[in-house]
Amino acid sequence: MTYNTLRIVLECNGRKLAMGPGEPLDITAVTGLESSEIEISTSQNALVDGETVDGKKIKARPIHIEARFRSNADNAKNRAEIIKFFNPKYTGKALIVLMGVSRNIEYELEGWTFKKQVNMDENLKILVDLKCPDPYMLNVDNFGQNMARVTPLFAFPWRVSGHNQVAAYDAVDAGNSHYLRGCALQGHVASYKVFKSDVLLLNDGYVPTGVQIRFKAARGPVTNPKITNTMTGEFVRVRVAMDQGDELVIDTDEHHQIIELNGVNTYQKIDRHSVPFQLVVGENYLVYDADSNYTNMDVYLYYRPKYLGV
């Protein structure tokens, strides 16, 4: 069900500050949730009317929040807690729930203050200015899956076959447990290993987004793992020899691209033709491979769609 309400939860340095319905802080005004400023770069040509568009850029998102404590009973305590919470030394994360839609965004504290009070018994009011260097709102879920997973088919639980069931139970009561041989099955699960090396990822955001790929040499050594986005033809290949148990993590996010083997920076091992690709809006087909022993790998994918506002 969708509610016409707004709730904001700021989280920073292990602390949380919640505002909205049911919280001590009531939101009285907010701006910056819908969109960010756009910067259009143009150039002029002496022989052509107007200007030529060279590029477009979405600037950092400013968010302004005004809130008021519903009660003045704890003014002294609330004042101390607010001062302690707004620490500009740390990066924070905002959860915004507007009309039933939830989004996350990281922020830096640009400034804050208490609104001027007529007297000390007046309800405390705060004015907060946040700056989000990455202007995109993120889905609160981090979608992920293992491309090379083990899929269960069916199970054989311990059971007693139909017409012998009553007699079997009677035999157990009589102490003749050997009677159950032949009418009870030992439990186990049958399954199969998926060696299909491609997967469909759906990006329902408004712009392309990065993806985190985690290669794990789960069943033996692997040489030079590679993953390709067939929608763009771009790929990332890392020239490493992985032993069983090794993990290679690739993150193609534009703001923090990394390649790490067992937690150690291995970016210099990237194939020179590689491109840290983004997931395009809509359908993306990713295919993984390796120079040798690709079936030894588990391949985990994680991504978060990006939105222009909420």
CATH code for the domain in which residue 252 is found: 2.60.120.860
- Is the domain of 11 the same as that of 95? yes
Q: What angle do CA 99, 104, 105 make, to 5 degrees?
A: 125
What is the model's pLDDT at position 196?
Answer: 56
Domain extent at residue 77: 6-135
CATH code of the domain in which 18 resides: 2.40.30.200
pLDDT band at 46 (very low <50, low <70, confident <90, very high): confident
Mean pLDDT of 266-272: 94
What is the model's pLDDT at position 45?
Answer: 84
Indicate yes or no: pTM above 0.85: no
Structure-block tokens of residue 27: 């939101």
> Does a structural domain hold residue 64?
yes
Structure-block tokens of residue 197: 């090396």
Mean pLDDT of 177-201: 49
Structure-block tokens of residue 146: 């293992």
Structure-block tokens of residue 161: 């076959």
> Does a structural domain hold residue 1?
no
What is the model's pLDDT at position 135?
Answer: 94
Q: For the ranges 104-118, 157-171, 195-209, which has the lowest average pLDDT?
A: 157-171
Structure-block tokens of residue 212: 């985190």
- Is the domain of 177 the same as that of 126? no
What is the model's pLDDT at position 183?
Answer: 38
The pLDDT tens digits of the residues spanning 180-189 come to 343 333 444 3
**How would you class 118 by CB atoms within 10 Å of its CB: exposed for 0-12, middle for 13-18, buried for 19 or more?**
exposed
More confident residue, 228 or 117: 228
What is the model's pLDDT at position 36?
Answer: 86
**How would you class 62 by CB atoms within 10 Å of its CB: exposed for 0-12, middle for 13-18, buried for 19 or more?**
middle
Which has the closest alpha carbon to 86: 69, 123, 111? 111
- Is the domain of 48 the same as that of 104? yes
Q: For the ranges 90-104, 136-150, 241-255, which has the lowest average pLDDT?
A: 136-150
How many Å apart are CA 96 and CA 99, to the nearest integer?
10
- Is the domain of 262 the same as that of 157? no
What is the model's pLDDT at position 146?
Answer: 62
- Is the domain of 39 the same as that of 115? yes
How many Å apart are CA 248 and CA 300, to the nearest integer?
10
> Does a structural domain hold residue 207?
yes
- Is the domain of 221 the same as that of 180? no
Mean pLDDT of 80-102: 95
